[in-house]
Amino acid sequence: MTGNPHIGSSFESWLDETDLREEVTTAAIKAILALQISEEMKKQHITKTRMAELMQTSRAQVDRLLDPENGSATLDTLVRAAHVLGRGLHVGLV
């Protein structure tokens, strides 16, 4: 009986072995940002329609911004959303 080849390996090493690290990291960052923006909108009682007005964009764009599975939001859009909410956006290399 052969042992499980994955015993002892980590999720991190699996991501490297399958070349999925970039895709998974991007999806996680997008999901976190969408959640943070959504929570801040709720905290400030800002609707999606009002957010679109404040950002000078469409409601559809705000829907895409808040969709954790939609990675089409640009850095400019994220910065505008943060600014409208009175927040900042920090991006850096680690």
Question: Does 91 fall in a domain?
Answer: no
Question: Does 93 fall in a domain?
Answer: no
The whole model's pTM is what? Answer: 0.81
Question: Does 43 fall in a domain?
Answer: yes
Question: Does 90 fall in a domain?
Answer: no
pLDDT band at 8 (very low <50, low <70, confident <90, very high): low
Question: Does 36 fall in a domain?
Answer: yes
Q: What is the pLDDT of residue 57?
A: 97
Residue numbers of the domain that contains 78? 11-84
Written as six digits, the tokens of 86 are: 């009175």
Question: Does 5 fall in a domain?
Answer: no
- Coil, strand, or helix at residue 90? coil
Count how many domains the chain has.
Answer: 1
pLDDT band at 64 (very low <50, low <70, confident <90, very high): very high
Question: Does 94 fall in a domain?
Answer: no
Considering the chain, what is the average pLDDT of its residues? 90
Q: What is the CATH number of the domain that holds 63?
A: 1.10.260
Q: What is the pLDDT of residue 7?
A: 66
Question: Does 92 fall in a domain?
Answer: no
CA distances from 40 to 14, 23, 51, 54, 83 (A): 34, 26, 11, 14, 12
